[in-house]
Amino acid sequence: MDASYCNNNTTASTLFVGDLSIFVTEKDLIHAFSCYGDIDEIKIMRCNETKKNLSYGFVKFISADAALKAQEELNGSILQGRPMRIGWGMRKPFLQQQSSSTAVRSSIHINYQTNQVIHIVLWN
């Protein structure tokens, strides 16, 4: 991804951070990412029922340039014993419209000989 994408995309300042240790906290992410620029928001995704860390989250920078630099330099770096997988956060409008109490399930059928998706089914 180049800087022109970051400057023209509204979600370009948000990073997806995956493969986190279940012990990582928001403070740990602030400590790891804040040296790259001002952070607007940090969110670790948690189970609604148990509140356990789901091993991924999002870091939203104020500046897209800061997000780009953090992504380039921190992707694969170790945090609490695990390498972080850092990519660009993307909004999923369909899932965002669903109520937080509604589970959305999906089924994807793939022909493994051709690696083609046969059909996708979404239901609540």
With H, G, I as helix, E, B as strand and everything else as coil, classify residue 45. strand
- pLDDT < 50 regions, the chain: 1-10, 95-107, 118-124
Class for the domain spanning 3-98: alpha beta
The pLDDT value given to residue 21: 96
For the chain, the domains span 3-98
The pLDDT value given to residue 106: 46
The residues, ordered by sequence, that sit 6+ positions from 113 with a Cβ below 8 Å of its Cβ are: none
Q: Are 88 and 1 in contact (CB under 8 A)?
A: yes
The pLDDT value given to residue 12: 82
